[in-house]
A = this chain, B = another copy of it.
Amino acid sequence: MSASSPRPNMPHLNALRAFEAAARLGSFSLAAEELYVTPAAVTQQIKSLEAWAGMVLFERHAQGVTLTDATRDALPTLTEAFDLLGSSVHTLVRKARPRAIKIAALPSIAQFWLSPRLSALRDAVPGLEISVTARETLPNLKREPFDLCLFLEKSSDASGAIPLAQDEIFPVCAPSVAQRLAKRADLAAETWLNDENWSGDWDRWVSATGGGIPQPASRPVFSLFGLALEEAINGAGVLIGHRLLVGKHLQSGALVAPFPDPVPLVRQLFLRIGLGAGEDPVIAEIVNLLSREAAVPAA
């Protein structure tokens, strides 16, 4: 018997959070990604929790970790607790600023689909303060207090999400470049521009429209769709464009579509509503507006 506890009654909350993430994801590295820290930080947090509890929490394997029999039972409750924490934080900030809307979106969607439509939203809802966070992957809405998410997802993965628009791809280029393109085969002589994240787009379009076009000499890759788009507008080559993202430039004439044979993509633009934001009238209004906006080419 010790007369008083040699350690505090509760472990560090941050260590608990790291444990929960690592246990749920089965990997310290993935947990580190979710928490926006380095894997070493997760290792240390877990170690501190193990020291506090006086027990080993994970079985370490070469590729990842798994919970031990003793710790597995604690995970569901722990996950629920942190989910509740996230949702109560969301409730808190929504009550505080009912007209502040936090949107997470793919960087390209944010810049070329959402951005042109934001002024319509602001006109419709006076006093709206919209924050847009660009993210490569869908955030965990149970943890991060976003009100809306705009991501390209496969229908099969998107249960509970609202489909906004079908995406399709086709080549686009500056009008000056288009003059050189009388037939599809002429593309072989051009530079093919594309986004790093959609590296298969050109091949998909070529084969879906009949194939038979040899690879061009030059296929530069850009880490952001916006950079590739800029190059295309400057006449540096032909971009494989997404209808959702190039509508504005087609309308303005900065880009043209020399071969308007659209190839539909499996991924569609889906809208997701954050937990606890569903009943909010302002959010509901935004959702309606975005659904309508999705039907028209661009703002």
Contact = CB atoms under 8 A, between A and B. Distances in A.
Contact of A144 (B9, B36, B70, B110): B9
Given A77-B84, A133-B4, A134-B4, A92 B53 contact: yes
A133 B5 contact: yes
Interface string A1-17: 11111001111011011
Nearest to A50: B96
A44 B89 CA distance: 19
B4 A97 contact: no
Contacts of A146: 9
Interface in A115-159: 115, 118, 130-134, 139, 143-146
A93 interface: yes
Contacts of A3: 110, 132, 134
Contacts of A130: 1
A73 B2 CA distance: 42
B55 A71 contact: no
A118 B1 contact: yes
B88 A81 contact: yes
Which bracket fits the contact residues of A?
35 or more
A13 B132 CA distance: 24
Contacts of A60: none
A162 interface: no
A81 B78 contact: no
Contacts of A132: 1-4
A8 B37 CA distance: 12
A95 B78 contact: no
A4 to B, nearest CB: 5
Nearest to A8: B36
A79 B5 CA distance: 25
Contact of A5 (B55, B74, B102): B102
A85 interface: yes
Interface of A: 1-5, 8-11, 13-14, 16-17, 36, 53-55, 70-71, 73-75, 77-78, 80-82, 84-89, 91-93, 95-97, 102, 110, 115, 118, 130-134, 139, 143-146
16 contacts: A1-B118, A3-B110, A5-B131, A9-B146, A10-B145, A11-B89, A16-B85, A53-B93, A70-B96, A71-B95, A73-B95, A74-B88, A80-B84, A81-B84, A81-B85, A81-B88
Given A77-B87, A78-B88, 20 more contacts: A1-B118, A1-B132, A2-B132, A4-B133, A4-B134, A5-B131, A10-B89, A11-B89, A13-B13, A13-B14, A13-B17, A53-B93, A54-B96, A71-B96, A73-B91, A74-B95, A75-B88, A81-B81, A81-B85, A82-B85
The 7 closest A-B pairs by CB, nearest first: A81-B84, A55-B96, A77-B88, A13-B13, A74-B92, A78-B88, A70-B95
